[in-house]
Amino acid sequence: MPEDLPGILKRLEGDVNLIQGLSAELCARIKEPLTLMEVCGTHTHAISKTGIRRALAGKVRLLSGPGCPVCVTADAEIDRFIALSQMPDVAVTTFGDMLYVPGTRSSLAEQRDAGADIRIVYSPLDALGMAEKEPQKEFCFLGVGFETTAPAILATVAEAKRRGINNFSICAAFKLIPPALRMIAAHPDLAIQGFILPGHVSAVIGSEPYRFLVDEFKKPCVITGFGGTDILQALVMIADQIEKREPRLEIQYKRVVTPKGNPAALGLMEKMCTVEDQLWRGLGVIPESALKLTDEWKDFDVEHKFSLPPVEHKERFDTNGCRCGDVLLGKIIPPDCPLFAETCTPSNPLGPCMVSSEGACAAYYKYER
C-alpha cells in the first residue's frame, strides 16, 4: 500500500533533521571558509532544494559549474538547429528543455510557433519510431548532452542502421566533462579548492578520467549521489582532505559508480565517435571536449547529410546583460546577475541557466529567493 500522509511527513521531517544536523556538524568542523564547485546541475538543484547552501553559508561557498548540457550549448549551435528546422521536409526532434534556449536571433520555440516541424520527445527511440512511420520526412534528433546521454543516442543510431531506417539522423552535440574541469581548474581567476563530481557522468566514465584534478592541480574531489545526505557526506570527505592536506579522488556514490565506469557505454563512444574541440557557451572553445560521429556513421550525421557548415568557434557575449557565462564558470552566483528574478524569470528566461530545469538560475529562483 502507498505510504500514508503522516508517514510521509514523518520521513521528510527525519530527512530535514538529519540534513540540518550534518550541516551544523560540518560547520563546526570547518575552521576556514571553503570555496567548492558542484559540477552537476542535478547537484545544484538538490543543494538548493534541501537548504544545504543556506545551512553552510559563511563556511562553505558552493559554486555551480558547467554541468548543465543545455546551458553550455552555444548560441551558434542553436542557430544551426534553427537552420535545420527551416529546411523542407525536415522534422527536428529534441528534449523539451532545448526549446527556449536563445540563439543569436531566435529560439526553437519561436520557430515552432512560426510553423516549423519541431517535436518534443522523451527518448531518441521516440524520434526513430516517428521516422519509421513517416518515411517521406527526414527526422533529425538534437544530440545535446554529456557522457550520460551520448551512449543511448549512439545506440539509437546503431539501431537505425540495423533496421535500415535511413531518414533518421542526429546532430551530434555531445560534450565531455573532464576537459571542461581541466579548463576551470587551470583558470587564473578561480580559486576553487575542491570539486563535487557528477554521479550521472561518472556512472558511465568511472572515476579515473578525473585523476588529473588531484595529480596535476592538487584539488580534493569526491563523486557523489544526489540526496542531501549524499552531498553532505561528500562535503565532509572533501573537508577532511583539505584539513589533512591530502587531496584524493574518492567515490561516495559507490552504489552506482566504479573506477572503470560502464564498459558497454564507453565502447559505443569509442567505436562510433571521434574527439574534437568544441565551443561551450560562456566558457569558449575547450580542446578535445566534443564527440562527433566517425565517417563510418556519416549517413546518420546531420552535418554530412545536409552539408551544414561547421559551428563557428567564436564566442558571442550576451548583449542583453545576461551573465549566464559567468554563472557557468563559477565567477558569480545567479543573484549577482542584475537580471536575475527581475527581467529574467522562468516565464521570461533571458539566458539558458534560467531556461533549463538543471540550470543554476532556475534552481536559485525556485528554492533560494
Is it the case that residue 6 has pLDDT exceeding 80?
Answer: no
Q: List pLDDT tens digits, range 137-189.
A: 999 999 999 999 999 999 999 999 999 999 999 999 999 999 999 999 999 88
| pLDDT per position as a tens digit, 285-341 | 999 999 999 999 999 999 899 877 666 655 554 557 889 989 999 999 999 999 999
178 phi-psi bin (left φ>0, alpha ψ -120 to 50, beta other): alpha
28-34: average pLDDT: 88
Read off the pLDDT band of 258 (50, 70, 90).
very high
The rounded Cα 117 to chain-centroid distance in angstroms is 26
Task: Output the pLDDT for position 309.
Answer: 67
User: Could you report the per-residue pLDDT of 181-226, keeping only the tens digit for each?
Assistant: 999 999 988 889 999 999 999 999 999 999 999 999 999 999 999 9
Cell of 165: 531506417
Tell me: pLDDT of 106 over 60.
yes
Query: What pLDDT, on the 0 to 100 scale, is given for residue 9?
Result: 45
What backbone torsions phi and psi does residue 102 show, to the nearest 5 degrees? -75, 140
Architecture per CATH, 5-70+178-244 = 3-Layer(aba) Sandwich (3.40)
Residue that wins the pLDDT comparison between 283 and 174: 174
What is the mean predicted confidence (pLDDT) over 259-278? 96
> How much is the pTM?
0.90
Which has the higher per-residue pLDDT, 329 or 128? 128
The residue count of the chain comes to 369
pLDDT computed for residue 11 by the predictor: 54
Task: Quote the pLDDT of residue 322.
Answer: 87
The per-residue pLDDT of the chain, averaged, comes to 90
- Reported confidence tier of residue 234, pLDDT bands at 50, 70, 90: very high
pLDDT recorded at residue 361? 96
HEC readout, 15-51: HHHHHHHHHHHHHHHCCCCEEEEEEEHHHHHHHHHCC
Paired strand residues for 60: 34
Domain ranges in the chain are 5-70+178-244, 75-177+261-305, 324-367
Maximum distance among all alpha carbons in the chain?
A: 66
* 75-177+261-305 and 5-70+178-244 share a CATH fold: yes
Rounded mean pLDDT, 111-133: 96
DSSP letter assigned to residue 145: E
Q: What is the pLDDT of residue 62?
A: 95
pLDDT at 47 over 70: yes
What one-character DSSP code corresponds to residue 97? Answer: G
Does pLDDT of 256 surpass 60?
yes
pLDDT at 7: 57
Domain 75-177+261-305 has CATH 3.40.640.10: no
State the residue for C-alpha cell 546532430. Answer: 171
Q: What is the side-by-side order of every strand in the sheet holding 118-120?
A: 118-120, 90-94, 138-145, 168-175, 284-293, 273-280
